Structure 1
């Protein structure tokens, strides 16, 4: 029966969240049932920004598409164990490095998007003999950066809104005369949101001739990739939550509360070749099939 050898990476911080300048420390863990020879153990740390265009934008920006190379923000490689032998049992090898970018580069928030992906990984490689399989293990850690001080809002201002048939701008194939009469008001706590806090507010259905089926909040990512040839902007949905179901009472305050999902959101970011922004859509679905939608561009910050 073959002996099972296990290579693992354990970080000291359970949440795996670090800020630029922090020391990242942990252990390379080797578990083996019998003595195991090896040709060295190396650790590599990489942080990169991956960019891509949607299929509809490829033809428009072919020159840019051919130059979509990953942006390497940081890259370290160091040996944690020279060639030798690990004895049976569990061996822990400590490691530590400072989270600093390469010269001329900037660290951005960890972010898993559709057309922009920002990721930080630690990868461990153990080289073995010709007749043995090399072992490899990778783990992702999360980087949280701060919004530059000059871009932080000194105070958050509530955003009042009023939605009526006259305020709607996109009717597509229907006319205003076909839209049932309604009046929806409300307030957002702020359009500048701390990413670790919830998106908050309330709405009030003052009147509505049609029966309401549902009220939803849609969080949208706005990703822009570009260069001198032009920019391609793509909007995709991150999450959709229901805050009201059925024909809600008129005159009743309905709370708005939405948590920003970790990894799939980050602070609003603008770099030379990409931007990451966010919007919230308030969608009221009527029983007759009409959709009433109000769009709120928001800015995510962290201080």
Structure 2
């Protein structure tokens, strides 16, 4: 049964469950019976997911470096920050939602022992409102990629899968947007946090 509206063609976006944006689809059926009998009604939710398309031959691998100098701090604030250097690479910032997000990082040196290294998946929903546009970011997944003081100069793999119901291909429309970001969080032994943010583009490719 093709889902086509010939009078007013509309785009059917992929199923998505968010905080301010929800894209759901229902099939409703009703059997009307005689005057004295009650009608029978049934509703069933279903999922829309597009066929994968062939990806374009583009390479979006990015390298990153995290140190006190790269943080958005004043010169006075940097004095109290422990000295450290972390470098790494993300294999791609354009990723298929059914494929893992991969890369690696290396801790070169640090004055304060590292307690944990975590990776957060954040969804950013933007909706139209009376004042213009409201933008809200919520964390939907947090994984730990290293625990304890990481051995220096050894590559630590980054591997994260995307949750099916809470992610979808990056969606930008006239009325709303659903975008995704990655936060790389380094927690030191004294509970000092360092966060590096990466914007990613999700798609559905074969």
Structure 1 length normalisation: TM-score? 0.61
1:182 pairs with 2:87: no
Looking at CA atoms only, which structure, 1 or 2, has the larger radius of gyration? 1
Which residue does the alignment assign to 2:126? 224
Which residue does the alignment assign to 2:24? 119
Q: 1:285 aligns with which of 187, 194, 199?
A: 187
Structure ranking higher on relative contact order (CA contacts 8 Å, 6+ apart): 2
Which residue does the alignment assign to 1:144? 49
1:154 pairs with 2:57: yes
Structure 1 residue 157 displacement after superposition:
2.4
Structure 1 residue 206 displacement after superposition:
0.8
1:259 pairs with 2:164: no
- 1:3-152 aligned at under 5 Å gives the runs 97-101=1-5, 103-127=8-32, 135-145=40-50
Instruction: Evaluate the alpha carbon distance shift between residue 202 and residue 269 of structure 1 in structure 2; reply closer, same or farther with a 3 A threshold.
Output: same
Gaps of at least 5 residues in structure 1 are 1-96
Q: 1:273 aligns with which of 160, 175, 183?
A: 175
Between 188-197 and 152-161, report the one with greater CA deviation: 152-161
Is contact 1:160–1:188 with CA below 8 Å preserved after alignment? yes
Structure 1 residue 301 displacement after superposition:
1.2
Structure 1 residue 245 displacement after superposition:
0.9
Structure 1 residue 105 displacement after superposition:
1.5
Q: Distance in 1 between matches of 2:153 and 2:180?
A: 30
Instruction: Evaluate the alpha carbon distance shift between residue 213 and residue 99 of structure 1 in structure 2; reply closer, same or farther with a 3 A threshold.
Output: same
1:168 pairs with 2:168: no
Is contact 1:219–1:279 with CA below 8 Å preserved after alignment? yes
Q: Distance in 2 between matches of 1:248 and 1:119?
A: 43
Gaps of at least 5 residues in structure 2 are none
Q: Secondary structure at the match of 2:146?
A: strand
Structure 1 residue 112 displacement after superposition:
0.4
Structure 1 residue 156 displacement after superposition:
2.2
> What RMSD, in angstroms, separates the aligned Cα atoms of the two structures?
2.5
Q: Secondary structure at the match of 2:158?
A: strand
Structure 2 length normalisation: TM-score? 0.88
Q: Distance in 2 between matches of 1:128 and 1:107?
A: 33
Structure 1 residue 184 displacement after superposition:
0.3
Q: 2:97 aligns with which of 189, 195, 204?
A: 195
Q: How many residues align?
A: 203
